[in-house]
Amino acid sequence: MISVGVTYFQNYYKDLFGYDQNYKTINVKKAKTNGIEIYFTTKLIDDFIFKLNYTFTNAKDLSDGILDESRKLIRRPEHKIGGYVSYNFSRSSNVNLELIYVGKRDDLIFDNTTFTSSRIKLEPYLLLNLATHYQLTEFLRLNLRLENILGTDYEEVYGYATPGFSIYGGIKLSLNDL
């Protein structure tokens, strides 16, 4: 089985949430995003699935009086790529491996000495995540998730740290199946 898709998108926004030079929430009067999403999925063997996707996004502030000529909306990457591999060992166990690349994006940096802000580029980053589960009984499942396995140091918002390598575990009890 092979599945391939391409989607073009275009959105117009009115009063979109944004931020001013002082990091206060404001309404961006008019904005437009457009781009393309491409995906590929294949089932190589019965229990092995591979997915790949790419998104290109052009996000612009169309409000009147914008001083920045690029008019780019902040924190929106132009390029985002994802890869996903899933394998079912049996009916009761599964493992998923995910790789995510997020490209450069604009953000604002505040200068405490001049009390002004200016645009900067946030660095691209790569995340590797792993998730697995094991179905103990019809109603009890164990989950384990490893996020940011590579310990990537990245920021989604300038000046705000994100978690490093993280481990999450859980038990899911489905009372509907009792």
| pLDDT (tens digit per residue) in 93-121 | 999 999 999 999 999 888 888 877 788 99
The predicted-structure confidence for 19-39, as pLDDT tens digits, reads as follows 666 666 777 888 899 999 999
Helix, strand, or coil (residue 61): strand
pLDDT at 157 over 80: yes
The reported pTM is 0.86
Residue 178 confidence (pLDDT): 59
What's the rounded Cα separation, in Å, for the pair 137 and 129? 26
CA dihedral 58, 64, 67, 72 (to 10 degrees): -10
User: Hey, how many other C-beta atoms are within 10 angstroms of the C-beta on 89?
Assistant: 11
Tokens of 165: 């390598």
Helix, strand, or coil (residue 175): helix
Residue 152 confidence (pLDDT): 97
User: Hey, how many other C-beta atoms are within 10 angstroms of the C-beta on 28?
Assistant: 19
Higher-scoring residue by pLDDT: 128, 71: 128
Q: How far is Cα of residue 107 from the mean position of the Cα atoms in its chain?
A: 16
**Domain range spanning residue 66?**
2-177
Query: Which CATH number belongs to the domain containing residue 96 in this structure?
Result: 2.40.170.20
The predicted-structure confidence for 62-83, as pLDDT tens digits, reads as follows 887 665 667 888 899 999 999 9
Q: How many domains does the chain have?
A: 1
